[in-house]
Amino acid sequence: MEIFHYDFMLRALGGGLLVGIICPVVGLFITLRRMSMIADALSHVCLSGVAAGLLLGTQPVLAAAAFALGGSLLIEGLREKYRHYAELSIAIILSAGVALAAILISLGNGLGGGFMSYLFGSLVLITVEDVWVMAAIGIPLLLLTLLFIKELFCITFDEVSARVSGLPVKLINTGFTVLTALTIAVAMRIVGILLVSSLMILPVAVAMQLARSFKGTLLVAVATGEMAVLAGLLLSFYLDLPPGGTIVMALVLALVMVLVVAPRRYTARAGA
């Protein structure tokens, strides 16, 4: 109970529990659509956003969200240009994000020690403002995902049928990419820019080995994400380690255990 006496831990737990739900929910659709690399691309765009925010003296999380939003729209635009080579759009934006971040970091002379906390997460440096920004972006984000979960489900498993049935597939795809970008911006303060995609993908990888339906996979992924965040934050507090590293290692250990205990291949099935 010692941890509840520290304000910074309460802030970290509040933000961590939020991202522990959002990341696996969005990550499930990313994984099933075979778009795992898009999370890495947008996280590197967020790196540029954080550098720009620190350089200009604005709120880094908001700056990262704005950059990620722009990057997500550019990815969708490039996917239209390279319809038969859609993965090129992700590689292009990833490269641009890293290059711009390098330039901005250089202009800011490294941007100080605070910049490192955005790479791997930090318990002590999370502010009340960070938590409010995360909640202001994250809660509507989660509600929108759950509101349109049926449409996302249809497009994920059969995009052609979804298009024939009259669903605005292009609009939903663009919206989903935007949701992914904002999820990364919200979660990076806890897990860190370089590890945020792991919190989106690894809980899903664990759930795929345990659940037998889409709904079951979603619930197990969220439960796994929450447990990993709690375990990672506790280890980070008591061992004085970056929370991003401890959270992701908790997920890696969980995945290894599940692969040993329940080594079966996941088969996506519609229904409950």
Alpha helices in 82-124 (DSSP H): 87-107, 114-120
Look at the chain and report how many structural domains it folds into: 1
Residue 268 lies in a domain: no
**For residue 266, how many C-alpha atoms fall within 13 Å in the half-sphere facing its CB?**
19
pTM of the model: 0.84
Amino acid (one-letter) located at 98: V
Q: What is the largest CA-CA distance in the chain?
A: 57
Alpha helices in the chain (DSSP H): 7-32, 36-56, 60-81, 87-107, 114-120, 128-147, 149-157, 159-164, 169-191, 196-210, 214-239, 243-261
Domain containing 55 equals 2-10+17-200
Closest residue by Cα to residue 204 from 37, 68, 36: 36
- CATH of residue 68: 1.10.3470.10
Residue 148 lies in a domain: yes
Helix axis angle for 214-239 and 7-32, nearest 10°, is 150
Residue 241 lies in a domain: no
Q: Render each residue's pLDDT in the chain as its tens digit; 272 residues.
A: 677 788 888 888 888 899 999 999 999 998 888 887 888 888 889 889 888 888 888 888 888 889 989 988 898 888 878 877 767 888 898 899 889 988 988 887 766 666 777 888 877 778 888 888 888 888 888 898 888 888 888 888 887 888 888 888 888 888 888 888 888 888 888 888 888 889 999 999 999 999 888 889 999 999 999 999 999 999 988 888 888 889 999 999 999 999 988 766 554 444 44
Residue 87 lies in a domain: yes
Residue 254 lies in a domain: no
CA 236 – CA 213 distance, rounded (Å): 34
